[in-house]
Amino acid sequence: MQVNTSSTLTVLHDGQFWVGICEQRDGSRYGACRFVFGPEPKDEEVLAFVCRRWDRLDFRMRDEGDAAENGSAPVGARNPKRAQREARKALEAARRGVGTKAQQALSAAYEERKDERRSDARELREAEERRAFELRTLKRKRKHRGH
């Protein structure tokens, strides 16, 4: 089995910093990430980045399959309210602008990291609440200990 892998790096100015959009396609999987260079990078800096850091980039690879192709019901068998809701959502998405594949992959990776941060913060908060509860109960037990 032969799998084609291709990678591209696009360096552009986003208005404030010079940014590199790193894209990688591996068969049917696609991923992208963003790297901020800061001031305008020289060719040597870009080459050094590719040689030293490319393998450590987090591309968040995803399959390129479209959700509409994966098991959607025939148009006639759909609930009319659901069809209306999906049509409204499609119009809003078209008006808002979908963006390039790299932008979509970057936003998906951003959302994943946001969800991870939220779950990590929730776990830390719950652990802190458990620790505080244990301290309160320990203090209460010490207070009520007979002398």
Quick one: pLDDT at residue 132?
Answer: 97
Quick one: pLDDT at residue 105?
Answer: 82
* Cα 33 from Cα 17, distance rounded (Å): 16
The pTM (predicted TM-score) of the whole model is: 0.46
| β-bridge mates for residue 12, sequence order | 19
| β-bridge mates for residue 5, sequence order | 26
CB 74 within 8 A of CB 31: no
* Cα 76 from Cα 98, distance rounded (Å): 27
Quick one: pLDDT at residue 59?
Answer: 79
Q: Which long-range contacts (CB under 8 A, 24 or more apart) does 99-107 make?
A: 101/23, 101/30, 101/32, 102/10, 102/21, 102/23, 102/32, 105/23, 105/30, 105/31, 105/32, 105/60, 105/62, 106/21, 106/32, 106/33, 106/34
The answer for residues whose C-beta is within 8 angstroms of residue 50's C-beta and 6 or more apart is 9
**Six-digit token pair at 88?**
């409204």
pLDDT tens per residue, the chain (147 residues)? 676 788 888 888 878 888 888 888 887 888 888 888 888 888 998 888 889 888 888 877 777 664 344 445 554 566 777 877 877 787 776 666 556 778 878 888 888 999 999 999 999 999 999 999 999 999 999 888 876
**Six-digit token pair at 60?**
């968040």
The pairing of beta strand 62-63 with beta strand 29-38: antiparallel
73 DSSP assignment? P
